[in-house]
Structure formats: structure tokens, C-alpha cells
Amino acid sequence: MNDTPRYDLVVRGTLVLPTETLPNGWIAVSGGTIMAIGSGPNPSADTVHDAGSAYVLPGFIDGQTHATSYKGLAGFEATSRSAIAGGITTMVDMPYDNPDPLNTMERLQLKIDSVENLSYCDVALYATIAPGQGTAEMADLAKAGVAAFKISSFESHPVRFPRLPASDTLAILEASVETGLPVGLHNEDQEIVRASIAALKADGKITPEWHEPSRPLSAEMTATAAFLELGAATGAHVHIVHISAPRGYDLVSRYRAEGVNATAEMCVHYLHFDAARDIERLGARMKVSPPIRAGMIEGLWAALEKGQIDFISSDHSSWPIDNKFTPSIFDAGAGIPGLETMAPSLYTDLIGRVADPVRTVADYLSTKPAAFFGLSARKGALKIGADADFAILETGDYPFDASQTRDGLNWSPYDGETFKVRIAATFLRGKPVWDGTEITGKSGYGQYLPRPQSSKAA
């Protein structure tokens, strides 16, 4: 009698495990969970996926997706399809939905329903609090599993993406301590940005190169510093969701050294584009806020080397290209698609900068965001008991053609670049959902991931 268990699935390849990289390795899966890991001959299974020498990484977790800011809750379908083509098995979606943000239990339930009806990947959710709403609903939202709260010091839209006055921010941070959840900030000072836009418009300076100067570093740094100071005053976990300049990472580090619970997130495009080099070629295609600045890239890589970056995200926004080609740059939508380029761009840019690019990718796109959002029991590492979420990466030279993306947008500032890696396959909870060419997963297979109570600070 043979008592070796027969598994649902075995995936073979070069395994990027938490503490070592194991060539000729295998992962055995049953019921969507990793049951065994080894090297050499694999145990028997219903399906064996042999990736050869390709890397097997834990599925990526995009800590900042805007799936629903344009199409509303229906946006999950195309956005999550793009995610799995990018090796992303979990998106953490931002609360600024069209037409109304996720700031109540009722809207949370609608969004969970939409995830479970439409999404190809698993989804954790941010919630927000509207100006003047008060903090009463925060405890219930936390109990229902939202992963974090997000607020803004700048009004991108009066209803969907409003600005909170400092008094509301203070109250939200006080209330957040009780929930044990981080509060993320979109960090730009409204008065400074509005005044500079008005001055530039008055001078007729409305072409794309004026986007960066319209949102000066002072606007980003003062909003960042004010929020960190409110974190110091309240003991809340204050998180800056994007920082475009090394000085911002230094600010967060200084507060952290003082004992403030402060964290800093990087979006992958700040490590890749430079306003001075790329604006003429890309124009509004590289409009994000805070802006991609000139001459920041080397300092931002130094921030990574210094350990000042807590994790890296895409900040994927689902804006159609028409939304970018406005007569004035100040009317163009801010945000770019980025799910299918996040890992390839990061891996490619890491070559020559770190000793082990693929491990750095696994750390910053899987393990660290999983820990930040309290998902480590199931996500973010290849370990026994975790969900069988895999991103399989094949190295080579791969020209990126944005017209082939699966996000329904089919444009990207990365169009025409050559990446040194491609996503050869994606598995979510043991199911093949992307085969390197086609989506093989199903809309609605994705699950809502409530943040476990045990992962919260309070």
C-alpha cells in the first residue's frame, strides 16, 4: 500500500522561498492550499505544471489599486483580469469609487458583492470617512474586515475623493487607534497646489510639462509632515501612500526613529520615469499626483537601499486614454494603468542595483504588502498552509505592447519598452488563472479578504 498523498496540483520551478531560492523545486497543493514543498522528484498529483527553470514567486499583492474610480463597482471585472495577467493575485482597492466612496457599511457590502460577482483575483478593501461624517462608523467597518482607512489632504473630486480638514483628520486618527488599522494619506497641500495651478493658468502654462511645477515639493512635504505630526500626537499608524521624493522617505524615517508608527509606500512609476527625460515623449500619459518629478530616481533607489520603503504598489488607475487628452493638462485625469507592468518594470529596473532582483520583487510586491495589510497567514509567502497563489516569472527580453493589455484601457506609459521578465503563469488558490497568453480564470472566482482581527494593532 502506498500512503503518499496524491495532490490536486504540483508546480515545479525555481522556488523563491522566504529564506532561500530552491532550483528544481516543487510545491504540492490540495484544496487551494500549499501542503508540501520540496526539491527533486515531486509527489504525484492530478496536474503537474512544470515551469522548468522559471521562478515561482508568491502571487503579488498590489497595495494600491483604483479599480472602481471610473466605471464604478463594475470596474472590478477588467481591472482584476489585468491584475492576474500581471501576476497579482490580491488587489487592495482604494475607497474612491464612482460615484460614491466606500465610507459606510452599506457601501462596503455593495463592494464586497461586486468583488464576489466580478473579480478574477482576491481583493482586500480600504474604507474612507467623508468630511463632517464623524468617526462612529469606523469601528463597524474595521470589524467587517476593511484592511485600512484612506483619506486625502487634497480634493481630487468633491464627493468621490474629497479633502479632509485637519480637524477631521485628527479625529479619524484618534478613532483609528481603537480599530488597530493604519490610516493612509494622499499627501498634497490643497492651498499650495490650487494657488500654483491658478498662477500657471493665468500665464497660459497649461501643457503637460507644467503638471510637475503645479504641485511643488513643498505641497507634498508639508502635507506629509502635518500628517506625521498628527500621528505623533495620537499614536495612530500613519501611512503615506505615495512619496515622490527622497525627502519624504527621510521625514517618515525620522518620525519612525522617534517611535511614531509611520510607514511609507512607493509606487513603481516613481522608480522608473523622470519628468525631465520623459515628459516630452509621454505628456499627459505620465500624469500622476503627486507628480513624477525631475531628477529623483537615484535618490528614490537609495531610499529602498536604506530600508525606508515599506512596500511597493502600482497605484493603477482605470482612466481611458481620452481622459488624458484634454486641452489643459490641469483637466486631464491623474493616474495611470500599471497592473501588468508593476512586476516586470520593478524586476527590470532592479537588475544591476540589487544582488538578487527576484527576491527583492518577492519581498516588496508580496511579503511586505501582505504583512502591512494583515494578510500574512494566507498570502505573501510560499509556505505550508498558505494559499497556493503563484506568479511564475520567466526571464528574457519581452517588448511590452499596451494594446494587448487586459484592463480594457489598452494604453500605458510603458508602451514599447522591453522588460527583462514576463509573467508566464499565475495561480490563485491552486487554480491556473493566467497561462502567459490567455486568461484561464473566471470572473467571480475572486474573494473578499477581510483583515483578520488578530492582525490589528489594538
Residue 147 beta carbon to Zn ion: minimum distance, rounded to whole angstroms = 14
From residue 190 to residue 209, the character string flagging contacts with Zn ion as x (rule: CB under 5 A) and all else as - is --------------------
Distance CA 187, CA 220 (A): 6
Q: Please give the residue whose beta carbon sits closest to Zn ion in the complex.
A: 315
The beta strand positions in 136-270, using DSSP E, are 148-152, 183-186, 238-240, 262-267
As to burial, measured by CB atoms within 10 angstroms (0-12 exposed, 13-18 middle, 19+ buried), residue 385 is: exposed
Between 64 and 90, CB nearer to Zn ion: 64
Q: Which residues contact 184 (CB under 8 A, 6 or more apart)?
A: 126, 148, 149, 150, 151, 239, 240, 241, 265
Distance CA 88, CA 91 (A): 7
From residue 35 to residue 64, the character string flagging contacts with Zn ion as x (rule: CB under 5 A) and all else as - is -----------------------------x
Between 161 and 301, CB nearer to Zn ion: 161
Between 333 and 357, CB nearer to Zn ion: 333
Residue 41 beta carbon to Zn ion: minimum distance, rounded to whole angstroms = 46
Residue 169 beta carbon to Zn ion: minimum distance, rounded to whole angstroms = 17
Among left, alpha and beta (phi > 0; psi -120 to 50; other), residue 186 is: beta
The beta strand positions in 345-415, using DSSP E, are 390-399
Contacts (CB under 5 A) with Zn ion, residues 63-122: 64
Residue 387, interface with Zn ion (CB under 5 A)?
no
Contacts (CB under 5 A) with Zn ion, residues 315-354: 315
Residue 208 beta carbon to Zn ion: minimum distance, rounded to whole angstroms = 20
Residue 75 beta carbon to Zn ion: minimum distance, rounded to whole angstroms = 14
Between 64 and 98, CB nearer to Zn ion: 64
Distance CA 219, CA 213 (A): 10
Q: What does the block give as the cell for 297?
A: 530616481
Nearest to 288 by CA among 241, 243, 336: 336
Contacts (CB under 5 A) with Zn ion, residues 283-322: 315
Residue 253 beta carbon to Zn ion: minimum distance, rounded to whole angstroms = 22
Enumerate binding residues for Zn ion (CB under 5 A).
64, 315
